[in-house]
Copies of this chain bind each other. A is one copy, B any other.
Amino acid sequence: MPATPARLELIALPDFPFVNQGDDLSRLVVEGVARAGVPLQDGDVVVLAQKIVSKAEGRLVDLAAIEPSAEAKTLASQVLKDPRLVELVLRESRRVVRARPHVLIVEHRLGLIMANAGIDQSNVDSDGRDVALLLPDNPDASAESLRARLHAASGAAVGVVINDSFGRPWRRGTMGIAIGAAGLPALIDRRGDPDLFGRALQVTMIGFADEIAASASLLMGPADEGRPVVLMRGLTWRAPPNPAAELLRPETEDLFR
């Protein structure tokens, strides 16, 4: 039988401060769990909204400083978006997957297939400027750095997931997805595990960090700066840790791009 927990608790850290470039997120998390009366324990998983990780890492871009290329201008007229935003999307991407009026889906340089390269113009504290927030440069590395710092600060061996809201083919509505992970298996590979009746399981790979990311989204809400950090207590796993990059389906295995 898998080491599946019987109970799980999710706690959104209360009154999490606005995050600015250079802030030490691990310190803010440790202060936040203390405020909530739930100091970190071994096995806890801390889920952080992409936005605060990006802001702490200084990924806010002033659109006034962006000069769109001819390619960006042409694409912008096709998708009916700000040419400066489209320029940023192209800089962040390997290629355009779908372009339609009001729709720009790309393969991000990280390998994520997503709208607008994950660049966010909503819900960003802008001081009146037109700004855009890029994804962290390397979300798995960001998660690992946070995991190590949380361990150093608290003594607890915790997992870290960085989540973001993704649209999906075939289904309406966004869903929380893991763009970074550390200290836990983002992808669990059960090939060979017997099921209850001793047969090998047909469904063999589980998007563990994606399910964690989606759970936390229920508490963060869409305006996720209000509750950008969720503590999950009670998860268990037996597989070795691997990063969120393991969740990316290689193009050669992909029938839908």
Contacts and interface: CB of A to CB of B under 8 A. Distances in A.
A218 B227 CA distance: 22
A1 B218 contact: no
A73 to B, nearest CB: 22
A193 to B, nearest CB: 8
Copies of this protein, total: 2
Interface stretch (A61-69, A137-145, A152-160, A162-170): A162-170
- Which bucket holds chain A's interface residue count? 35 or more
A37 B113 CA distance: 44
5 contacts: A4-B219, A170-B248, A172-B246, A173-B207, A175-B210
Interface string A107-121: 000001100000011
B169 A249 contact: yes
Contacts of A5: 12, 218-219
Given A1-B223, A207-B172, A199 B123 contact: yes
Contact of A14 (B6, B105, B220): B6
B221 A2 contact: yes
Interface of A: 1-2, 4-12, 14, 98, 100, 103, 105, 112-113, 120-126, 165, 168-177, 187-188, 190, 193, 195-197, 199-203, 205-208, 210-212, 214-215, 217-223, 225-227, 235, 246-249, 253-257
Given A4-B219, A235-B218, A203 B226 contact: no
A173 B199 contact: no
A201 B222 contact: yes
Contact of A211 (B190, B197, B215): B215
Interface centre among A105, A169, A177, A212, by most chain B C-beta atoms within 10 angstroms, is A169
Nearest to A6: B12
B173 A122 contact: no
Given A7-B219, A175-B210, A206-B217, 19 more contacts: A1-B223, A1-B226, A4-B220, A6-B11, A7-B9, A123-B196, A126-B197, A165-B206, A169-B255, A171-B248, A172-B253, A173-B187, A173-B205, A174-B203, A175-B207, A175-B214, A193-B222, A211-B218, A215-B218
